[in-house]
Amino acid sequence: MARAAVDVLNAVDEALTLGTRADFARVAKGDIIATIKIIPYAVRAAALEAALAAAAPIRVAGFQPRGVDLFQTTLPGTADKLLARTDAVTRARIAGCHGHVVTAENCAHDTAALAALLRRPTDAAITLVAGASATVDRGDVIPAAIVAAGGVVERLGMPVDPGNLLVLGSIGSRTVIGLPGCARSPKRNGFDWVLERLFAGIPVTAADIAAMGSGGLLAETERPEPRTRHVPALAPVGAILLAAGRSTRMGSFKLLEDLNGRPMVAHATQALVDAGLPVLVVLGHQADAVRTALAGLPVQFVEAADYALGMSHSLRAGLAAIPAGWRGVVVALGDMPRVGAVTITAIAAAATSERSIVVPVSNGRRGNPVLFGRAWLARLSDSSGDRGGKALLDEIADLVTEVEVADDGVLFDIDDPATLAAARQNAALPT
| In the chain, where the domains are located | 3-54, 67-210, 237-425
Q: Which CATH fold would you assign to the domain 67-210?
A: Molybdenum Cofactor Biosythetic Enzyme; Chain A (3.40.980)
- 45-49, 79-83, 382-386 — most confident range: 45-49
| pLDDT tens digits, 146-186 | 999 999 999 999 999 889 999 999 999 999 999 998 888 88
Helix (H) or strand (E) holding 19: strand 16-20
- Report if pTM > 0.85: no
Is the pLDDT reported for residue 428 higher than 80?
A: no
Q: What's the Rg (C-alpha) of the chain?
A: 27
* pLDDT band at 3; cut points 50, 70, 90: confident
Residues 239-282 pLDDT 10s: 999 999 887 777 788 899 998 889 999 999 999 999 999 999 99
Higher pLDDT, 209 or 380: 209
Give the helix/strand (H/E) hosting 401: strand 401-404
φ, ψ at 154 (rounded to 5°):
-80, -40
At 9 the three-state DSSP class reads helix
- In terms of Cβ atoms closer than 10 Å to its own Cβ (0-12, 13-18, 19+), residue 425 is exposed
Q: Is the pLDDT of residue 234 over 70?
A: no
Is CATH 3.90.550.10 the right assignment for the domain spanning 237-425?
A: yes
* Helix and strand element counts for the chain (H, E): 14, 18
**pLDDT tens per residue across span 307-320:** 888 888 899 999 99
b/e 360-369 (16+ beta carbons within 10 angstroms → b): bebeeebbbb
Cα–Cα distance, 415 to 248 (Å, whole number): 9
- The HSE-up count of residue 52 (CA atoms within 13 Å, CB side) is 7
Q: How much of the chain, in percent, has pLDDT values that exceed 70?
A: 93
* pLDDT tens per residue, range 45-71: 999 999 999 888 889 999 999 999 999
